[in-house]
Chains A and B, each alone.
Chain A
Amino acid sequence: MTLSGYEALFFWIFALGAIFAGLLTVMARNAVHSALFLISSLVSVAALFVLARAEFIAGVQILVYVGGVMVLFLFVIMLVNVGAEERGRDEIFNNQRQVAASLIFCLLLVGGVLYSVNKGYRGLQEHDKTTPEAVAAQEASRDQSLPKTATLTSRRTKDSERLAGSLYRYASLPFEIASVLLLVAIIGSVMLARTLRQEASADDVDPEVLKEEMVRDPELARLEPQSE
């Protein structure tokens, strides 16, 4: 799977970009900055996906992850965080002991990862006897069989086709379960985010809690339950 040529260049651009954006995500003071840096990190990773010939996943990443999840993040930041940001004086990192301990653990993790990659590298190399050029040639020849895209500059890949074939044939049950999971998440999030007023008007509050809350918020008493 060795990349070469322009692919290698773009790999390095996007990889370093992703790491840099990730670093800044963690270190930015402003939460909105953090979100935007995360978005760029995600987009870079999507580009890496493309380089790894997983075009469908790249598209899904951008559409779902960036377009859905990160937008949601931004909404919530706006809902929750705005007041905090205006002050701009608070600490963004935890106490020193916590930070120190985390950094130690992270360095250990880094060490471990590098070690294992190093160890495995030999094995990978032995396994992968082919030279990059041969692989590239192989890939090119394989690509020839594919039809061209509309702009006639590149070939259509079979990635979506392959993924769909396996997903719906062999992973259909997890697929359905995942859909149920999403349903549950929807219901759960709606439920979790209800205000007391909304709950009271739907007659879903414990009477004693309602009494307590009515002391603080007299308007609750005026709410009629919407369902009999």
Chain B
Amino acid sequence: MSKLTLGPLLFHWKRDQRRDFYARIADEAPVDCVYLGEVVCSKREPGYYDDLPDIADRLIAGGKQVVLSTLALVTTDREMAAIRSHCDGPLMIEANDATAISLLAGTQHVTGPFINVFNEQTIDFLVRKGAARINLPVELSAAAISTLARYCPVETEVQVFGRQALSISMRCYHARSYGLHKDGCQFVCELDADGLAAKQLDGNPLLTVNGTQTMSHGYAVLLRELIELQAAGVSHFRLSPQATDMVRVANLYRNVLDGALTAGEAEEELHELAGAVPFVNGYVRGREGMAWADS
């Protein structure tokens, strides 16, 4: 049966908000697996990692598999040491760069969406290194996903809800947007729980700034594609947390996977939750990522 997962929280939420969020996920969300951990910026880690053991225990008690996701861009000794200690810890790891893969060789792990997995040969290598589940990049078309999911000898995961991560940098654009630099950022990314809108000069939103990460403005919504992807062998469907009712989002996706709701019905409800945020599905349709095809 297809599994629903909750991807790592990519935004920097206040500690209370994050704890409350995961408590509710543990108790109410029909997801099989929850990814925890800071993926975007190591400066955000301290408070989060103090709370993480309790959050993980609560999710496990709620019957969820818990996986710890590593940073997408690793440059400092402190960051390498943190990844090493995660890899030596009790939780299954999602590797988001080659640092983590090298530390995990021979140990069962998940390869995250920030590892470039575009073809069969890369899958072969990663599986030999211990990948038990492989996330495919958000940029892939349904045809490419199908080819890889059919081929992949281990579990395959695809993001089906939430803003798509488009790039990562050493520079913090959140700090820059507030007239600051990364070193003295004052954690301004905490002000924007769903990311900061970056608009074109004509006022139309284009991207979302999340610290050093740049994301799509639209939420990826791959409800119409779920059944096709399921048939191709995608085993895990990832919901990426947004500042909206994620329990309800998870219920909608679960219901579509179970045939209790049509994709169109679920989309209508999602629009209520998303407010003014548009949906995108361009990549999976083989088009520009920002496009939305509603047929």
Q: Does B associate with A?
A: no
Which residue numbers of B lie inside 8 Å of A, CB to CB?
none
